[in-house]
A and B are shown apart, each in its own frame.
Chain A
Amino acid sequence: MEIKIVKQILEWNEDVSRQVTEELDKNRVCLINVMGSPGAGKTSLITELINRLRDSYSIGVIEGDIAGQIDADRIATMGIPAVQLQTDGACHIEAMSIQNILPMFDLESLDVIFVENIGNLVCPAEFNIGEDLRISLLSVPEGDDKVEKYPLMFETTDALVINKYDMIKYFNFDENRVISRENEANPDAPVFRVSTVTGEGLDGLTGWIRERISNKIGK
Chain B
Amino acid sequence: MHELVIVEGILDAVLPEVKKHNVKKVISIKLKIGELSGVIPECIDYYFDIASKGTLAEGAKIVVEKVPVSISCRDCGYNGEIPRRSYRCPECGSRNIRIESGREYFIDSVEAE
Contact = CB atoms under 8 A, between A and B. Distances in A.
B105 A152 contact: no
A2 interface: yes
Contact of A152 (B9, B23, B37): B37
Interface stretch (B14-22, B47-55, B72-80): B14-22
A9 B6 contact: yes
Interface residues of A, number: 29
A12 B21 contact: no
A10 B105 contact: yes
Contacts of A187: 95
B106 A6 contact: yes
A3 B36 contact: no
A100 interface: no
Interface stretch (A41-49, A51-59, A119-127): A119-127
B2 A4 contact: no
Interface in A1-20: 1-13
Nearest to A12: B9
B77 to A, nearest CB: 19
A166 B12 CA distance: 49
Contact of B106 (A7, A91, A92, A122): A7
B87 to A, nearest CB: 5
A3 B112 contact: yes
Interface string A83-123: 00000001110100000000000000000000000000011
Q: How large is the interface on B (under 10, 10 to 19, 20 to 34, 35 or more residues)?
A: 20 to 34
Nearest to A125: B38
A123 B9 contact: no
Contacts of B13: 5, 7, 9, 11
Given A1-B113, A2-B109, A126-B37, A184 B23 contact: no
A179 interface: no
A187 to B, nearest CB: 6
A7 B2 contact: no
Given A3-B23, A152-B37, 5 more contacts: A5-B13, A7-B106, A9-B106, A92-B2, A185-B85
Contacts of B89: none
A190 interface: no
Nearest to A123: B2
A123 B108 CA distance: 23
A160 B18 CA distance: 44
A151 interface: yes
